[in-house]
Structure formats: structure tokens, C-alpha cells
């Protein structure tokens, strides 16, 4: 299945400049309704999960898209690229709802087998998009699939699909950063007393995982944006 998506030349390795989601007819009439429909389905899926969960998938996707938007603006990217990235990352976890609902909310830290099963949501989501739009050729589709497929990759090649850094686009690299942050900022039972404040998560990302997980050239502006947000909020969690 992965081979279907592995023609690297299909991916634009740089920021998406060649279209404008907000005004592009295909984006507005085909992709936007698709994303909205998929997020509604994800919300319905979330409602089947236990009542006391903290990591709610459709809320996570919204926060991640907003963080992506703010990071792009912080980096000085254009409004067009920023909006394109916002919409492209919004559906990144739709593959989760195609998996059995009971696999997500375990009290214990997931073992390798369960973790691998959960991580198939990247391929499942990409395949869902490819199937639905097999006759549509548009750079937004390519971008959406790139982010969906690669948001759990690592810069050292030890990510979910073992893809090497040189094959990971800037949109995919930044998506991995923004996505991981939100995952670590929302408390879950196996986190116990881990520091999940904004500075706490950034410290963890920088020190523990930084050099091997993330592209630090993109992580630094993200960290700075989050710290600025934290300082402006006036909230001191610790
Ligand atoms: Fe994911
Ligand atoms: Fe995610």
C-alpha cells in the first residue's frame, strides 16, 4: 500500500505556493466539503469513546491547525501559504476513525504492537483521500496526502514509515513538530505527573527528542511562537 504513495517527485518539498485554498475553485467545492465531512465523522467517532478522555481527536486537529497557522505567520510565510497549510493539516488524523474505537483509550502506555496498529492511521487516511479523489489531480491533494502520511516521521529516519530526512518535505517536517507538541501537551493517564505546561513540553521536545525527532530549523520558530503565546497569556502553570 505504501508504494502507491512513495513517488517522491510527486511531493512539493517546499511550502505550497502554487494555489490559494481560499479562492481556488477545486479547493472550495471539492476539498473543503470533504474536510468538513471528515471532521464531523471524527467528532462522531470521538463520541463513541469513554466520557472522561482528555485527548479528543477532532479537538486536537483544530488546535494543531491553529498552531500551524500561527507558526507559518511567525516564520513570515505568506497568508496564502499559511491558509494552505492550515487546511492541509486539519484532516491529518482522519484515518483514526477507520480503526476499532477501543484501541485508543488505554490506561497504560501502549505497547509496541498497539502503537504500531494506532500508527496505521497515517496510511489509512492517505488511502482514503487517494480513493475518494483518484481522478482529481491538484497540488492540495498532494499536500494533504503528504501531511497525512508523514506527520509521524522523524528526522533520524526512525519514524513510523522509516522515511529519511532528505525525503521529508518542509510541510511534513513542520507538521510532525506541531502535531507532537499537541499530543504531549494534553494529559493522558500514562503521563502521570509529567510537566505538560507549554515550557515543560517545549523543554522535553528540545532536550529529549529534539536532535533526533525534529527538524530543529523549523522547531525553533515553533518553540518561539509558543513561548510568545505563553508569555502573552500571562498564565503561569508552574
Ligand atoms: Fe496522527
Ligand atoms: Fe495528530
CATH number (domain holding residue 86): 1.10.3210.10
Answer whether residue 55 is part of any domain.
Answer: yes
Which DSSP symbol is given to 186?
Answer: S
Phi, psi of 17 (to 5 degrees): -110, -15
pLDDT at 125: 97
Tell me: pLDDT of 87 over 60. Answer: yes
Question: What cell was used for 82?
Answer: 499559511
Residue 201 lies in a domain: no
The alpha-helical segments, DSSP class H, found in the chain are: 25-26, 32-46, 57-74, 79-89, 112-119, 121-132, 139-150, 170-185, 198-203, 210-213, 216-233
**Cα 57 to middle of ligand 2, angstroms:** 8
- 6 lies in a domain? no
- For residue 152, the CA-to-ligand 1 centroid distance in Å is 6
* pLDDT tens digits, 69-82: 999 999 999 999 99
- Say if residue 176's pLDDT is above 80: yes
* Ligand number with the minimum distance to the CA of 152: 1
Q: Please report the pLDDT score of residue 52 as a whole number.
A: 87
For residue 63, the CA-to-ligand 2 centroid distance in Å is 10
Calculated CA dihedral for residues 141, 143, 147, 150, nearest 10 degrees: 100
Residue 235 is assigned to a structural domain of this protein:
no
Averaged confidence pLDDT in the chain: 92
Identify whether the C-beta of residue 138 lies closer than 8 Å to the C-beta of residue 127: no
208 part of a folded domain: no
- Please name which of 55, 34, 58 lies closest in space to residue 45, comparing C-alpha atoms: 58
Residue-level pLDDT at 50: 92
Cα–Cα distances in angstroms (integers) from residue 92 to residues 38, 62, 179, 192, in the given order: 10, 10, 9, 27
Q: Is 234 helix (H, G, I), strand (E, B) or coil?
A: coil
Nearest ligand by distance to the CA of 186: 2
- Between the CA of 30 and the centroid of ligand 2 the distance, in Å, is 23
- Ligand with smallest separation from the Cα of 55: 2
Cα 10 to ligand 2 centre (Å): 23
pLDDT digits (tens, 9 = 90+) for 207-230: 876 678 999 999 999 999 999 998
Residue range of the domain that includes 172? 11-176
Tell me the per-residue pLDDT of 136-171, one tens digit each, with 9 for 90 and over: 999 999 999 999 999 999 999 999 999 999 999 999
> Residue 40 pLDDT more than 90?
yes
Joined together, the cell numbers standing for residue 101 give 474505537
Give the span between the Cα atoms of 142 and 163, in whole angstroms: 17
Ligand 1 centre to CA of 83 (Å) is 20
Distance 62 CA to ligand 2 centre (A): 10
Task: Tell whether 47 is covered by a domain.
Answer: yes
Q: For residue 108, what pLDDT is reported?
A: 83
Cell of 129: 483521500
162 assigned to some structural domain:
yes
Q: Which of 94-98, 152-156, 176-180, 196-200 has the lowest mean pLDDT?
A: 196-200
- What's 23-79 look like in SS3? CCHHHHHHHHHHHHHHHHHHHHHHCCCCCCCCCCHHHHHHHHHHHHHHHHHHCCCCH
238: confidence class by pLDDT, cuts 50, 70, 90: very low
Say what percent of the chain tops pLDDT 90. Answer: 74
Which ligand has the minimum distance to the alpha carbon of residue 57?
2
Span 183-210, average pLDDT:
83
User: Total structural domains in the chain?
Assistant: 1
Binned at pLDDT 50, 70 and 90, residue 11 comes out as confident
Q: Is the pLDDT assigned to residue 1 strictly greater than 70?
A: no
Amino acid at each position: 500500500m505504501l508504494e502507491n504513495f512513495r513517488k517522491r517527485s510527486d511531493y512539493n518539498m517546499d511550502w505550497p505556493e502554487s494555489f490559494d485554498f481560499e479562492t481556488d475553485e477545486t479547493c472550495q467545492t471539492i476539498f473543503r466539503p470533504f474536510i468538513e465531512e471528515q471532521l464531523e465523522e471524527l467528532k462522531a467517532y470521538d463520541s463513541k469513546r469513554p466520557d472522561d478522555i482528555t485527548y479528543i481527536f477532532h479537538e486536537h486537529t483544530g488546535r494543531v491547525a491553529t498552531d500551524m497557522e500561527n507558526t507559518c505567520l511567525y516564520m513570515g510565510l505568506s497568508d496564502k501559504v499559511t491558509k494552505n497549510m492550515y487546511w492541509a493539516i486539519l484532516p491529518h488524523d482522519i484515518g483514526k476513525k477507520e480503526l476499532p474505537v477501543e484501541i485508543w483509550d488505554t490506561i497504560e502506555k501502549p505497547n509496541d504492537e498497539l502503537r504500531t496498529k494506532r500508527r496505521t492511521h497515517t496510511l489509512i487516511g492517505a488511502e482514503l483521500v487517494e480513493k475518494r479523489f483518484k481522478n482529481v489531480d491538484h497540488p492540495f491533494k498532494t499536500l494533504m496526502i503528504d501531511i497525512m502520511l508523514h506527520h509521524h516521521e522523524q528526522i533520524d529516519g526512525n519514524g513510523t514509515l522509516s522515511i529519511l530526512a532528505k525525503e521529508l518535505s518542509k510541510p511534513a517536517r513542520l507538521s510532525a513538530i506541531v502535531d507532537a507538541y499537541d499530543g504531549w501537551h494534553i494529559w493522558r493517564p500514562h503521563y502521570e505527573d509529567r510537566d505538560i505546561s507549554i515550557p515543560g513540553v517545549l523543554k522535553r521536545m528540545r532536550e529529549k527528542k529534539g536532535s533526533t525527532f525534529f527538524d530543529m530549523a523549523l522547531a525553533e520558530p515553533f518553540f518561539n511562537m509558543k513561548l510568545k503565546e505563553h508569555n502573552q497569556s500571562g498564565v503561569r502553570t508552574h
